[in-house]
Structure 1
Amino acid sequence: MKVLVSGAGMAGLSAGIALGQSGFSVTLVERAKHLRVNGSPIDIRGDAVRMAQELGVLEAIRARRVTMSEEVVFVDREGKTIAAIPQQEINDSEEDVEIPREDLGDVLYRAQPEGNTVRFGDWIEALHDDGAGVDVTFKSGLRERYDLVVGADGVHSATRRLIFGPEKDYLKHLGFYIALADLPEEASAGRVNPMFNFPGHMVGIARYRDRALGVFNFRSPWIDYDYHDLAAQKAILAKAFAGHDEWKVPEIVAAALRDPGLYFDSVSQIHMPTWHRGRVVLVGDAAACATGLSGRGTSLAITGTCILAEALRRHGGDFEAAFAEYEQRQRPHVDRAQAMALPGGDLICPATWEAIEARNARLSAPRSA
């Protein structure tokens, strides 16, 4: 069976491994000209740990693990530590793994089965599913026919838009925005990762290995802007943190405004009644983004793609049965992850001074053995 995977992020690369190992002929197409790996370290948790083992990548993942989240502390306006997140609020179990996004991308890319093709700098422009196969037209002008198309192209999925309609029909804004920027001057300043809050806002430094990132989170209703417009993103970020000179806020904001690779986006989930139509199926954030506030987006990518591949093996050419099994088994993972996002927002970005103080008091309270 000939399969096209749209997107070579964590979901797409995981799909490539799972489907390739299942005997399918897999092509991955990625709009960027290289692996997109910007962002903070990510977590592999729960069932995704077992499934990473089944994919044959868990040992390589564990060899590159970091402990960035375990070193997060909340600081006051002078930079003094006032609270820390207990380990049990970060991980489900000791088996969970935190790994830099770029390292996980490299592990998954290197693990692509022989015969898989990864094509960068191209993307889907049109899809036509005639019931017997899917004709795909690419931006490059290439035209190919596939038995199955897997949309793994993220929260702003073009595959979803082409088959299911506009993003706005499925996007649920959670009331937050996030930004990440390179902060090289802080890379060698120790391992502690300080985060500072004022009402509805968080700004901090995330260090791991030889890198440091400026991390931003702020509460806001939906902002209408072009998510491809970097200047607009920087203007929104600057306005959100204007007038604050506490701690290192001005320096971190200034670094973000200089960064040509700034990551900025709404914290929004994708909610869909079904993840498939005909011979096209969605996985990862394209199907059911839970947001980084859940801490489970990468785990959903791995569990979803493994479940999909297993269902396709079980049901052969009966795509409807395979997709029904995939959705039935993956929905509980998605529901749990999406439900955890808002509590995650309240933890890192409380809305008021009272909520900030209550959070700090709770985290600082002695814990019984």
Structure 2
Amino acid sequence: MDILVSGAGMAGLSAAVNLGARGHRVTIVERSSHFRVNGSPIDVRGDAIEIVDKMGLLPQILAQRVDMTEQGQFVNGDGEVVARLPLEETSDSADDIEIAREDLARILADALPADATVIFQDSVSSLADNGDGVDVRFVSGREAGYDLVVGADGLHSAVRRLAFGPERDYIRHLGFYIAIADLPDEQPRADRVNPVYNYPEHMVSVMRYKDKALGVFLFRSDPIEYDYHDLDAQKQILADAFAGHSEWRIPALIEAARVDPELYFDSAAQIHMPAWHRGRVVLVGDAAHAASGLSGRGTSIAFTGTHILAEELENCAGDHATAFPRYETRQRPYADFAQHSIHGGAELVVPATWEAIHARNERIAAASR
């Protein structure tokens, strides 16, 4: 079949690799001018490890594995260590694989079938399911027809909006916003410690991996109205959230975010839908069931979902009307588990009060002792 995949993130690339491996002709359309690789390292865990092995990618992923023993350290306003975060607080098991987002994107892009088409700087503007296929119009004005459309375009999915209705019907804001900025001037450290500073309802940290460093910001907030395509607006929201605080390294890290041309900024939110398919359109990854970065499982369930989708299409000889419900039945437990796994994560990384911050530090320090 001719299949359009909207979005070239982890879910979109994984969908294209899995579908292409089964003989489908895949076109990927991506709004950005390049593969989006900014962001913190990501985890491959649980059944997703077996999936990437079936995809033939496990050796390459293991070769690029990030050492997970980097020490997370909670610090006070003067940078003094007050507690060290044990690895077991943030991982499921020693089998978890952490990998730089850019490395995983490159591995997936290199695994695309030779006949796959990737179109950058374009996106879907309308969909018309005619029963025998889907007529697609793109923002560029181009038009094309496909047998199936796979929405892998993330939390703010255009395919979901066009096929299922407005985002507000499915999104659940979790009360946080997150930003991630590149720190190109950060000096490397042999120990690669990752310091974390909190004040009530806010967190700012430096995350080091390989030869890179990132500034990571979290703050509690009710939903904020803004254009999520407007980078300047996002930078202003972030600066306002941390305004008036000069302790530790906050001003320098906010300035690094301000000058980062590819700052990541978004709400911590989940997508909850009763169904992920309608006619010849189907959703995967965050577009279908975003769990939020607090789960640490977004990429893993993108791998399971896209593999299951391609497998069921093959098992059903391309009969999407049978394959799509079977995909949902098998993938739903993974999505539900990931969405429920966030509980407690917020209290660990961004406590709401000074009392909660001190209690967390004392608990972790006592456990370390």
Tell me the TM-score normalized by structure 1: 0.96
CA distance in 1, matches of 2:311, 2:259: 45
CA distance in 2, matches of 1:142, 1:206: 41
Q: Which amino acid aligns with 1:83?
A: A
Query: 3-state DSSP class of the match of 1:265?
Result: strand
Q: Higher mean Cα deviation, 321-330 or 277-286? A: 321-330
CA distance in 2, matches of 1:228, 1:32: 11
Distance 1:68 1:185, change over 3 A: farther
CA distance in 2, matches of 1:194, 1:281: 41
What displacement does 1:365 show?
A: 2.0
Q: Which amino acid aligns with 2:238?
A: L
Gaps of 5+ in 2: none
CA distance in 2, matches of 1:48, 1:292: 17
What displacement does 1:367 show?
A: 6.4
What displacement does 1:143 show?
A: 1.8
Describe how 1:233-272 pairs up with structure 2 within 5 A: 233-272=234-273
Query: 3-state DSSP class of the match of 1:154?
Result: coil
CA contact under 8 A between 2:84 and 2:368: conserved in structure 1? no
In the other structure, the counterpart of 2:10 is 10
Query: 3-state DSSP class of the match of 1:325?
Result: helix
What displacement does 1:187 show?
A: 4.1
In the other structure, the counterpart of 1:281 is 282
CA contact under 8 A between 1:187 and 1:207: conserved in structure 2? no
Q: Higher mean Cα deviation, 38-47 or 187-196? A: 187-196
CA distance in 2, matches of 1:303, 1:358: 37
Describe how 1:40-59 pairs up with structure 2 within 5 A: 40-59=40-59
CA distance in 2, matches of 1:195, 1:258: 21
The share of aligned pairs that are identical, in percent, is 60
CA contact under 8 A between 1:34 and 1:120: conserved in structure 2? yes
Distance 1:187 1:324, change over 3 A: farther
CA distance in 2, matches of 1:224, 1:20: 39
1:115 aligns with 2:115: yes
Query: 3-state DSSP class of the match of 1:174?
Result: strand
In the other structure, the counterpart of 2:154 is 154
Q: Which amino acid aligns with 1:322?
A: A
Query: 3-state DSSP class of the match of 1:215?
Result: strand
Q: Higher mean Cα deviation, 209-218 or 187-196? A: 187-196
CA distance in 1, matches of 2:91, 2:70: 9
Q: Which amino acid aligns with 1:31?
A: R
- State the aligned residue count: 368
1:350 aligns with 2:341: no
What displacement does 1:185 show?
A: 2.1
CA contact under 8 A between 1:68 and 1:206: conserved in structure 2? no
In the other structure, the counterpart of 1:333 is 334
CA distance in 1, matches of 2:171, 2:340: 15
CA distance in 1, matches of 2:60, 2:318: 33
In the other structure, the counterpart of 2:36 is 36
What displacement does 1:68 show?
A: 5.7
In the other structure, the counterpart of 1:177 is 177
CA contact under 8 A between 1:175 and 1:219: conserved in structure 2? yes
Q: Higher mean Cα deviation, 83-92 or 33-42? A: 83-92
Distance 1:332 1:214, change over 3 A: same
What displacement does 1:189 show?
A: 3.7
Q: Which amino acid aligns with 1:366?
A: A
Tell me the TM-score normalized by structure 2: 0.96
CA contact under 8 A between 1:29 and 1:119: conserved in structure 2? yes
In the other structure, the counterpart of 1:78 is 78
CA distance in 1, matches of 2:339, 2:286: 11
What displacement does 1:183 show?
A: 1.4
CA distance in 1, matches of 2:311, 2:251: 50
In the other structure, the counterpart of 1:320 is 321
CA RMSD of aligned residues (A): 1.5
Distance 1:230 1:68, change over 3 A: farther
Query: 3-state DSSP class of the match of 2:268?
Result: strand
CA distance in 2, matches of 1:361, 1:169: 41
What displacement does 1:246 show?
A: 1.5
CA distance in 1, matches of 2:51, 2:318: 24
CA distance in 1, matches of 2:93, 2:136: 43
CA contact under 8 A between 2:151 and 2:160: conserved in structure 1? yes
CA distance in 2, matches of 1:188, 1:302: 32
CA distance in 2, matches of 1:251, 1:189: 18
